[in-house]
Structure 1
């Protein structure tokens, strides 16, 4: 696979499985309905595990604009490649969310709760408050990106700052830890593509009675993670100079 295709396919798998666990635990008449937050967090971590393993050799398995920015800020990834990675990640996320909808289409049609439908696609705050919601996404992504930078430190000397396939499980465990510890405030997007792509899919897919896509909130899970990733890279660079 080319790097573009690796990021596209990897992100599509990530979102298919991640939004899939959201749908399975939320929508009416699924076997997983009401399984709870632990199942959701574990499902997303396993989605990351599979996606990173698949895409690692082709693209380095960023699968997340915040990771791409962190590596670029740290000087381990070329800024010229950032737009291409962003595009592949967002398109992959839209595709993955669309495939998830196809999997659960009858259940979406039977679900009367507009908030539940949107929640299977994108994130939202448990308690609304712009500063607190932004800080939640920033801090969760900061913790995630710092961990990823240290987990992949042996590969950061390469021009493309790649994650290897053997990094899939440690990165998945980091996602699980973030979800269990910090995810309850906003649903821990920690990935602009993970939230934006499915939100776009929600807006364009023909889901009966789906309601709005909450675009007023959408900037928080985009810019919070991007800033968190950049700050993590800054801290990493300072610590490497000690």
Structure 2
């Protein structure tokens, strides 16, 4: 228990330091970066599920349905979490792969890379919390489209900011890991960005239809929901 408390304290210190000075590398326990990735995945999933559940509730109230699904089932909540984790893994694995293959000696430690990437992107956790709060300000059944657009605008800006932080963190983590590059760092990073974009494109094409079917099944079985994780 004492060791766990010590690790928690050290992680919190590392987290605060990373938010204050993201680009300044500091020593950390090997799993700190992975912990940050997990927390980020949970926060982002929470925001997604909260938005969907809020839409379901407001749509139900607007249509005066007496029998309807009140929230997503635990199974769909969990699937969304897995999809978010996979998206984060794309950043981590492709970034690490580019760093390892881009170095002449290949001397890049996986946990060091994840800690570096986490240190650069931990500040996005604050925006993830803001994103969750902003979701609860959206009225999906707003009387006018202008009001809805205004409400959605702030949430969209937060999402864009989170995405930018992850993109910058991805680029800088690769750049800082290339100590003896095989060729110019610029091209290593460009190739890594292209591979990342292709990975998300292919994953989106494959998974979008499956997710649509899952939602369709969820809505058609509104009376058998298991309740929401959130």
Q: TM-score, normalised by structure 2?
A: 0.31
Q: If you compute each CA radius of gyration, which structure gives the higher value, 1 or 2?
A: 2
Q: TM-score, normalised by structure 1?
A: 0.30
The structure where helix makes up a greater share of residues is 2
